[in-house]
Chains A and B, each alone.
Chain A
Amino acid sequence: MVVCHGPLAGALVQAAEQISGLGGALIPVSNTGCDRDTLEDRILAAVGGHPAVVFVDLASGSCLVAVLKRLRTEQLVKVVTGVNLAMLVDFVFHRSLSPVEAATRAAAAGEKSIRIP
Chain B
Amino acid sequence: MSIVLCRIDDRLIHGQVVIGWGRAMGIDLIILVDDQVAASDWEQELYRMAVTPEIEVRFVTVADAARQMPEWQSNGKRGLVLTGDLETMAALRASSPDVVQRINLGGIHHRAGRRERLPFVYLTDQELGTLRSLEAGGAVITAQDLPTTAPVALRALG
At the interface, yes or no: A75 with Cβ under 8 Å from chain B?
A: no
Return the chain B residue nearest A72 by Cβ: B42
At the interface, yes or no: B100 with Cβ under 8 Å from chain A?
A: no
- Which of under 10, 10 to 19, 20 to 34, or 35 or more describes the interface residues of B? 10 to 19
The listed residue (A33, A59, A62) touching B14 by CB distance below 8 A is: A62
A10 to B10, CA, bound (A): 23
The listed residue (A35, A59, A62) touching B49 by CB distance below 8 A is: A59
The answer to whether B50 touches A36, judged by C-beta atoms less than 8 angstroms apart, is no
Query: Can you list 11 A-B pairs with a CB-CB distance of less than 8 A?
Result: A34-B109, A35-B109, A36-B10, A36-B12, A36-B84, A60-B50, A61-B11, A61-B15, A61-B50, A62-B12, A69-B43
Taking Cβ atoms with an 8 Å cutoff, the residues of A that contact B are 31, 33-38, 58-62, 64-65, 68-69, 72
Taking Cβ atoms with an 8 Å cutoff, the residues of B that contact A are 10-12, 14-15, 42-43, 46-47, 49-50, 84, 108-111, 119, 122
